[in-house]
């Protein structure tokens, strides 16, 4: 059979493979899609723990809308289409919750807002820069010691509306809601303190209770004494709006998580010798983001197996701190030892990659420099066919291959474990 895998925004890569080797081609689950506008309307009319949006905005001096950056598939523009009547005539500004990521390019602003909304609102759109300490306001300290400093716009605004999307996240459990503040509009040192908790084993995908990163986010958010209305969307495998939950930033997350599980938790019969993990646009922006496809794929891989990442990495490496750490280490074990000696933001990414390197091989088909890939313990391949052939040759005639067609979002769970 011919494997045809998405690569970049519109491209594809192909490889021929014996169909008998394929243990499964896994995608987010198919779910029934209704009228997207009706989904949003229903969420806004039945908010969790909050008055309806119109009542929430009544008498507002000004409104700040926090939106996700270019690394997320959040349907910001489609939600804004629906919110337009409620926001009309009000003093509304927008902030792109970049966390510690870079600012959007002109093309990415349009990706986030659409041409129409960007043209209409561009002079009222601001971008969070976590390193601009003069723009941050200290609000308090969490129980874990995270000093909550956030962008002053999130403190000075009279009312705040968050537009987000909920899907599994490899160390925060899930995206959505509280992540718009931390890391979304938090100071660099605040993000660093929170993300250090990702080194703990309990910080993993699909876990909120007992997850130290999530619990620290919630605790830190309690220092934000502002009225917040969250709109959490859940997308299907084709980035259509499947579900939405709105209202209180805390109470609207749980129902969105339940619907996200219906899409992104995929049962598999057993683990495979080889897992091909495809990271699709826009999450293929760089290796820093594409690493999620490595971490998610580990749940489907046998010990000693080969994990093949397929991700264009259009903008290169991304935040380079994790790459410098891995590149200076002699082995994955050495990298983990160095991380224990001193943590800086980005090392959580290096730790997750190094942990997998202790028990499996990681290979990659990307646009990145092969020498760099080798320095971070990823064996590079220029072509998909060559990588597939080499993996099958190494693992032998009985090797099984599992393909994750959307590896940055799909969490494979072995069937018996999923039903516990």
**Average of per-residue pLDDT across 28-51:** 95
Look up residue 186 and give its DSSP letter. Answer: B
Say yes or no to pLDDT of 35 above 60: yes
Same domain membership, residue 44 and residue 18: no
Which pLDDT value is given to residue 418?
53
Same-domain status, 296 and 194: no
DSSP string, 31-91: -----HHHHHHHHHHS-BSS--HHHHHTT-S-EEEEEE-TTS---HHHHHHHHHHHHTTS-
Residue 218 and residue 72 in one domain: yes
Checking if the pLDDT of 310 tops 70, the result is yes
Q: Are residues 49 and 12 in the same domain?
A: no
Q: Are 226 and 154 a contacting pair, CB within 8 Å?
A: yes
Alpha-carbon gap, residue 157 to 48, rounded angstroms: 22
Question: pLDDT, tens digit, for every residue of 62-97?
Answer: 999 999 999 888 999 999 999 999 999 999 999 999
Q: What is the CA radius of gyration of the chain?
A: 21
Task: Output the pLDDT for position 419.
Answer: 47
Q: Which residues of 275-298 are buried (b: 16+ CB within 10 A; e: fewer)?
A: bbbbbbbbbbbbbbbbbbbbbbbb
Distance from the Cα of residue 238 to its chain's centroid: 16
Q: What's residue 202's pLDDT?
A: 96
pLDDT digits (tens, 9 = 90+) for 284-299: 999 999 999 999 999 9
Render pLDDT for 349-407 as a digit per residue (tens, 0 to 9).
999 999 999 999 999 999 999 999 999 999 999 999 999 999 999 999 999 999 999 99
| Residues 25 and 230: beta-carbon distance below 8 Å | no
Give me the pLDDT at residue 164, please. 97
Q: What is the largest CA-CA distance in the chain?
A: 69
Residue 40, pLDDT > 60, answer yes
Q: Return the SS3 of 243.
A: strand
Q: Tell me what pLDDT residue 417 has.
A: 64
pLDDT of 192 > 80? The answer is yes
Number of folded domains that form the chain: 2
Do 279 and 233 belong together in one domain? no
Last residue of a domain, one of 227, 245, 263: 263
| Same-domain pairing of 20 and 108 | no
Measured distance CA(95)–CA(127) in Å, rounded: 5
* 204 and 170 Cβ atoms separated by less than 8 Å: yes
Query: DSSP characters for 121-140?
Result: HGGGEEE--TT-GGGEEEEE
Alpha carbon distance 57, 90 (integer Å)? 9
- The answer to whether the beta carbons of residues 47 and 53 sit under 8 Å apart is yes
Q: How far apart are CA 100 and CA 322, in angstroms?
A: 13
Containing structural domain, residue 21: 2-29+269-418
CATH code: domain of residue 143: 3.40.50.11440
Final residue belonging to a domain, choices 216, 244, 263? 263
Answer yes or no: do 278 and 338 share one domain: yes
248 and 392 co-located in one domain: no
Q: Of 259, 270, 286, 296, which Cα lies nearest the Cα of 43?
A: 259
What pTM, to 2 d.p., does this model score? 0.91
Same-domain status, 111 and 53: yes
CATH number at residue 294: 3.90.226.30
CA angle 276/349/373 to nearest 5° reads: 55
- C-alpha distances in angstroms, 345 versus 89, 143, 197, 333, 349? 41, 20, 11, 19, 9
State the average pLDDT over residues 42-58. 96
Instruction: Check: CB of residue 406 under 8 Å from CB of residue 28.
Output: yes
pLDDT in tens, 401-420: 999 999 999 999 998 765 44
Q: Would you give the DSSP letter of residue 237?
A: T
Question: What is the pLDDT of the chain when averaged over all its residues?
Answer: 95
Token pair recorded at residue 178: 């509280």
Shared domain for 140 and 237, answered yes or no, is yes
Strands 401-404, 125-127: pairing is: unpaired
Query: 136 pairs with which residues across the strands?
Result: 151
238 and 282 inside one domain: no
Determine the Cα–Cα distance for residues 47 and 45; give it in Å rounded to an integer: 6
User: Of 203, 229, 263, which marks where a domain is finished?
Assistant: 263
71 closest CA partner among 45, 44, 103: 103
Same domain, 366 and 352: yes
């Amino acid at each position: 059979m011919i494997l045809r895998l998405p690569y970049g925004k519109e491209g594809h890569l192909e490889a021929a493979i014996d169909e008998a080797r394929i243990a499964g081609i896994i995608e987010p689950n198919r779910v029934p899609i209704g009228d997207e506008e009706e989904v949003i309307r229903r969420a806004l009319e039945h908010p969790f723990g909050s008055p309806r949006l119109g009542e929430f905005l009544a008498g507002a001096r000004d409104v700040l809308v926090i939106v996700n950056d270019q690394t997320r598939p959040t349907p910001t523009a489609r939600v804004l289409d629906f919110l337009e009547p409620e926001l009309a005539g009000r003093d509304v500004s927008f902030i792109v919750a970049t966390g510690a990521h870079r600012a959007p390019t002109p093309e990415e602003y349009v990706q986030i807002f659409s041409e129409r909304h960007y043209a209409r609102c561009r002079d009222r759109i601001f971008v969070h820069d976590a390193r601009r300490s003069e723009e941050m306001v200290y609000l308090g300290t969490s129980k874990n010691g995270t000093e909550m400093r956030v962008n002053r716009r999130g403190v000075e605004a009279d009312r705040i509306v968050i537009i987000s999307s909920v899907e599994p996240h490899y160390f925060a459990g899930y995206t959505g809601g509280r992540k718009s503040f931390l890391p979304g509009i938090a100071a660099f040192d605040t993000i660093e303190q929170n993300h250090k908790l990702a080194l703990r084993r309990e910080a993993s995908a699909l876990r909120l209770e007992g997850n130290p990163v999530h619990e620290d986010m919630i605790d830190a958010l309690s220092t934000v004494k502002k009225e917040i209305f969250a709109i959490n969307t859940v997308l299907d495998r084709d980035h259509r709006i499947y579900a939405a939950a709105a209202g209180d930033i805390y109470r609207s997350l749980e129902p969105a998580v339940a619907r996200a599980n219906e899409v992104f938790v995929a049962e598999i019969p057993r683990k495979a010798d080889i897992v091909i993990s495809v990271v699709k646009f826009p999450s293929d922006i760089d290796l820093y983001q594409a690493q999620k496809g490595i971490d998610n794929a580990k749940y489907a891989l046998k010990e000693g197996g080969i994990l093949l990442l397929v991700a264009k990495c259009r903008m290169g490496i991304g935040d380079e701190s994790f790459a410098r750490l891995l590149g200076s280490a002699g082995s994955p074990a050495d990298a983990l030892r160095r991380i224990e000696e001193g943590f800086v933001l980005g090392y959580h990414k290096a730790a997750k990659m190094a942990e997998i390197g202790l028990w499996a091989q990681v290979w990659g088909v990307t646009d990145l420099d092969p020498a760099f890939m080798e320095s971070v313990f990823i064996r590079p391949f220029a072509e998909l066919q060559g990588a597939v052939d080499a993996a099958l040759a190494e693992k032998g005639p009985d090797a099984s291959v599992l393909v994750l067609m959307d590896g940055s979002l799909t969490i494979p769970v072995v069937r018996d474990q999923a039903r516990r």
